[in-house]
Amino acid sequence: MAYIQVEEQVPGIRSLVLFRPETGKYLYQLVQLLLRGNHSLSEAERELIAAYVSHRNGCIFCTNSHAAAARCLYGSAAFIVDEVLINRTFGCISNKLKFLLQIAGKVQLSGEAVLLEDIAAAKNAGASDIEIHDTVLIAATFSMFNRYVDGLASFTPNDDAIYTEMGKRMVEKGYQLPEQPNK
């Protein structure tokens, strides 16, 4: 049971933005720009950063949904998602993405944890300024979403199939504010 009176059975962030669409619309705009806007990092890579931070924060809803979106986007290379999230092995991704994930992991702990050497490693592996900027902002944004979703105890489904479907929808439709259910 969520801590506030949201629509029952509507999971995670959706229930919260339906409760307060005035703030929800900006949250969806931000995540749409960050994860779906034109970028030198692929959508799959950006979803992986989102899932990685959510996993480190222990936010099951955000982890499962963004991992599902990342699997869908990676297609035949979907195993990468489990390698990174579950096995914590980075051999299957580029050095650049590995160092960007390392920065994201530091941001998850605290902004102050990001050191010059973390940035230098990413730059040496070919990361651009905007890629570093966006990695930090995606990690910071999911540090917000994870706290919002868990801090209000929003409904977290435990059926894998639900997340697979959710991931597909996130890939096909992107992040659009959900419409109010008809009553």
86, 144, 160, 176: which one binds other proteins (CB under 8 A): 144
Written as one string, the DSSP assignment of 96-142 is HHHHHHHHHHHHHH-GGG--HHHHHHHHHTT--HHHHHHHHHHHHHH
Which string of x and - marks every residue 71-110 that binds other proteins (by CB under 8 A)?
Answer: --------------------------------x--xx--x
Q: Is 20 in the site for other proteins (CB under 8 A)?
A: yes
Q: Report the 3 state secondary structure along 28-42.
A: HHHHHHHHHCCCCCC
> How far is Cα 106 from Cα 139, in angstroms, rounded to an integer?
9
Supply the minimum distance, in Å, between the C-beta of residue 91 and other proteins. Answer: 26
- 43 or 72: CB nearest other proteins: 43
User: Count residues contacting other proteins (CB under 8 A)?
Assistant: 48
- 110 or 182: CB nearest other proteins: 110
Tokens (6 digits) for 11: 């999971």
Supply the minimum distance, in Å, between the C-beta of residue 72 and other proteins. Answer: 24
Contact status, residue 11 vs residue 157, Cβ threshold 8 Å: yes
- 28 or 74: CB nearest other proteins: 28
Supply the minimum distance, in Å, between the C-beta of residue 98 and other proteins. Answer: 18
10, 11, 13, 34: which one binds other proteins (CB under 8 A): 34
Buried/exposed code over 132-160 (b: 16+ C-beta within 10 A; e: otherwise)? bebbbebbebbbebbebbbebebbbbeee
Q: Is 18 in the site for other proteins (CB under 8 A)?
A: no
Q: How many CB atoms lie within 10 A of CB 181?
A: 8
- 61 or 163: CB nearest other proteins: 61
Supply the minimum distance, in Å, between the C-beta of residue 113 and other proteins. Answer: 8
